[in-house]
Amino acid sequence: MTDKKKMRTVSFALVIILFILLTAASAAGLLGRKYSALLVPVCCYIVAAIGLNMNVGISGELNLGQAGFMSLGAFSAAILAGVLNFHGVTNSFVVLVLCIILGTLVAGFLGWLMSIPVLKLQGDYLAIVTLAFGQIIVNIINNIYLGVDNSGLHFSFIDNTLSMGSEGTLLISGPMGATGVQTVSNFTAGFVLIIISLIIVYNIMYSRNGRAIMACRDNRIAASTIGINAAAEKTLAFVLSAALAGAAGALYGLNYSSFAATKFDFNLSILILVYVVLGGLGNMTGTIIATTVLVVLPEVLRFLSVYRMLIYAVVLIVIMIVTNNQSIRLWFEERSRRNRDGKKSGKGPGKEAQNA
C-alpha cells in the first residue's frame, strides 16, 4: 500500500471507528448531555478545519476568514430553514440537505468573488484582508433584520423597520442573530459531511490539480514557467476551503434554535487555524484528531474552574513544541523505518532480538 493510500485509509478508518464508538456510547447513555451536545459542533469544526487545511496546508495561503464563511453558511441555512418551515416543509432530512447545499453554494460563491482581488496578495497581506473580510461579514449580519410572511421576505438594515403581517415570522433579528431556527442537525449528518469533505479534499490533493496547487505553493514562479495557471489553482483551493466552511456553518447553525453573528468572530478563525497547525499542515488525519481533542478538552477540564483555560493553554504549547521538535520527529521516523524494514524481511522486533 502506497503512503497516499495509507493516509487516506487511516483518515476514513479513524472517522468511521469514532462514529461507531460514539454512537454506541451515546445510545447507551455513557456520554451524558454535556458530551452528547458536543458531537455536532465537533463535526462542524472538523469540516471547517479540513477546508482550511486545503487552503493553508496544501495551497500555502494564510486565510484568517474561515469563521466569516461559516457565518455565511449558518445564516443562509437559518433563512432557508425558516422559509421552508413557514411554508409547511418540516421534513428534517429535506430541510437539512437543502440548507447544507445552500450554505455551501453561498460561501463558495462569496469565496470565489473574494478570491479575484484577494489572491493577488500573498503572505501577511492576504491574512489581513481575509481577517477584515470575516469581521465585515459579522458586522453586516449584526445589522440585518429579515422576516417572512405570506407576501414573501422582508428586509431592513440597521433599524428594524419590517412591516409584516400578523402571521409573519422574524428570521434574523439584528444583534440577536437568527431566532426560532428549526434544529435538524444530528451526529449522523456530521459524520456524512466529514466523509464527503475527506473524499473531495483527498481526490483534489492527489489529482493533477492538487499537484499543481502544491507546485504553486513551493515555487509560484517556477510553476508558472511550466504552464501552470497559478491564479486558477489558488482560486480552486480557496473556493473549496470557503465552500466546506459554509457547509460546516450550515450544519452548526441548524444545531441551535438561536445563534448570533458574534459567535463567528476573529477568535473562531484563529481557533480553527490552531486545529490545522497542531494537526499538521496538509495532514487531514492529524487535523481530525487535533480538532476533536482541542474541542473536548475545555469541557473535560471544566471541573478545574478558573484554571482550566490556563491548563488548556499549557497543553497547546506542549503539543506545539512536541510536534515541531526535530529530534522527536526523527525518532518517530526511525522507528517507523525499522518497523517497515522488519516487516519486509519477515522479522518482527522480537525475532530480531532473539536472533541477536
Q: What is the pLDDT of residues 242-286, one digit of tens each?
A: 999 999 999 999 999 888 988 898 889 888 988 888 888 888 888
Span 293-298, mean pLDDT? 86
Given a cut of 80, whether residue 353 has pLDDT beyond it is: no
What are 131's three cell numbers? Answer: 481577517
Q: How many CB atoms are closer than 10 A to CB 89?
A: 14
Q: Which residues contact 295 (CB under 8 A, 6 or more apart)?
A: 38, 41, 42, 45
Q: How many CB atoms are closer than 10 A to CB 136?
A: 12
* Confidence category of residue 345, pLDDT binned at 50, 70, 90: low
Given a cut of 80, whether residue 118 has pLDDT beyond it is: no
> How far apart are alpha carbons 293 and 42 in whole angstroms?
9
Q: Say what the pLDDT of residue 51 is.
A: 92
Q: How far is CA 332 from CA 279, 322, 335, in A?
A: 16, 12, 5
pTM of the model: 0.85
Average pLDDT over all residues of the chain: 84
Percent of the chain with pLDDT over 90: 28
Q: How many CB atoms are closer than 10 A to CB 294?
A: 21
Q: Say what the pLDDT of residue 134 is.
A: 86
Q: Say what the pLDDT of residue 244 is.
A: 94
In the block, cell 479575484 appears at: 116
What are 310's three cell numbers? Answer: 490556563
